[in-house]
Every structure is written in C-alpha cells, then in structure tokens.
C-alpha cells in the first residue's frame, strides 16, 4: 500500500492531498498545528500528527513520530504569505521572521528528519511558487513571500543532491489556486491543482530530480 506524508495539511492544498491520496487507498500520515486541523485529518482517515514547522520543539519530534514508515510520497506544503505588498516596503522584523521561519526554515527542519523514512524511489515535493522564480520575475508584489520561495527553491536543489539516486525531489508551483491563500478569484480548484501534481509525481523519473515544475508538469525557470 502506498504510504504518504503531508506536512501542513489542515486546509487548502495540503488537506486536498490527504483527501485524494486517501480516496486512492493510500495510508496517509499528515500534520496540522490546530485541534480543528487534526480533526479534519482524522475525518479523512489519516494518521494525524501535531506539528508546527515554525516551532523548534514541535518540529524536532517528527523523526521519532514517523519511525518505521517508508513513505512513497512526501509533500512539504506548509506555508504562509504574509502581508501583501506592491512596492519595496521593508517588512517588520517579526513578519520577516514568521514568513522565513515557516517557508524556509520549516522545510530545512523537516528534510533531515526524513532520511530514514523514505522508500527507495520515493517522490518528494516542496510547495514552492512561481512567485519565487527569478527567471520569470515580472512583478515585485509581495517581495518577502517571493524571497522565501526563491530561498526554498535553493533548499529543494540541495535536498535533491543529497537524496539523488534514492528519491526524486521537485519544487511545484501549484497554479493559482482557490484556497484561503489564493483567494476566491484564483484560476484553479484545489481538486484540479492537486490532481495535476499527483499525476506528475507518479510520472517522475530520476532525470526529473531537482526540477521546478508547474502543477501540470511544465518546467519552470528558477
């Protein structure tokens, strides 16, 4: 039976990954940081773990909680946007810390704890964003969020080198998706976005390790 781990799954894209993988018959371990989030995961039949990637003590306990699992799919989804800006407004330090701690330090805390818990040939995805692409940059809105996603793209590349030959690692842009973060005017439903990413994950080969992909498989410039 396929084993799946989703980090940051209380709502939005993360919760939809849990729903679709459960529907496909997978055994799913998923994390949330609130009681409501944990309840959502229980409802879907996932094993729910309490985890706040922005909290040192909370995130350091992941490795022993997943001990014994061999995950075929790992999705690092937890992320925050922070205040939406249009120009070069210097972020308050606490906001800078919160966005960077969640979007960059979070994956850097989780990735080392996965080393013994990924099945040979597993696929690992970090939910990045096209807004983090420097090659495609044509606007400067929300520059803190952009910087955090550019930084996590670097983290993904390093993970892909460490896990090469064992795990295929990719950064995904999920599309512009109707969630609390994406808003109701976004292009895609969570269903479409997650179905696309699941399909791409199943098609990946070793040659895709370290790629930055749109939810539909189109390669994106770093």
| Residue 10 makes contact with ligand NAP by CB under 6 A | yes
Do 210 and 160 contact (CB within 8 A), yes or no?
yes
Q: Which of residues 152-181 bind ligand NAP (CB under 6 A)?
A: 173-174, 176-177, 179-181
| Residue 186 makes contact with ligand NAP by CB under 6 A | yes
One residue of 3, 6, 12, 142 binding ligand NAP per CB under 6 A: 12
CA-based nearest residue to 15, from 214, 200, 194: 194
One residue of 3, 20, 77, 160 binding ligand NAP per CB under 6 A: 77
Beta strand 167-173 with 211-214: parallel, antiparallel or unpaired?
Answer: parallel
In whole angstroms, give the CA distance from residue 156 to residue 129. 12
Residue closer to ligand NAP (CB basis): 54 or 211:
54
CA atoms within 13 A on the CB side of 141: 6
> Count of residues for the chain?
222
| Binding residues with ligand NAP: total (CB under 6 A) | 31
CA-based nearest residue to 205, from 128, 123, 117: 123
Q: Which of residues 190-219 bind ligand NAP (CB under 6 A)?
A: none
Three-state secondary-structure class, residue 169: strand
Smallest gap from Cβ 215 to ligand NAP, in A, equals 9
Residue closer to ligand NAP (CB basis): 81 or 166:
81
Residues lying near ligand NAP in the complex (CB under 6 A): 8-14, 32-34, 37, 51-54, 77-80, 102, 127, 129, 173-174, 176-177, 179-182, 186
């Amino acid at each position: 039976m396929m084993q799946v781990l989703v980090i940051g799954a209380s709502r939005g894209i993360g919760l939809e990954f849990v729903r679709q993988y459960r529907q496909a018959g997978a055994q799913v371990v998923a994390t949330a940081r609130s009681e409501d989030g944990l309840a959502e995961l229980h409802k879907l039949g996932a094993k729910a773990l309490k985890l706040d990637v922005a909290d040192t003590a909370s995130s350091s306990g992941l490795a022993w909680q997943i001990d014994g699992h061999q995950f075929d799919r790992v999705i690092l989804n937890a992320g925050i946007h922070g205040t939406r800006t249009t120009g070069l407004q210097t972020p308050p330090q606490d906001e800078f810390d919160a966005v960077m701690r969640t979007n960059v330090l979070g994956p850097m805390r989780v990735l080392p704890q996965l080393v013994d818990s990924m099945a040979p040939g597993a696929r690992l995805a970090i939910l990045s964003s096209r807004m983090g692409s420097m090659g495609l940059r044509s606007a400067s809105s929300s520059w803190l969020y952009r910087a955090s996603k550019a930084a996590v793209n670097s983290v993904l590349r390093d993970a892909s080198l460490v896990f090469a030959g064992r795990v295929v690692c990719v950064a995904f842009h999920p599309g512009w998706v109707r969630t609390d973060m994406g808003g109701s005017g976004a292009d895609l439903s969570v269903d479409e976005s997650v179905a696309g990413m699941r399909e791409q994950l199943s098609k990946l080969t070793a040659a895709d390790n370290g790629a930055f992909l749109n939810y539909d498989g189109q390669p994106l410039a770093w």
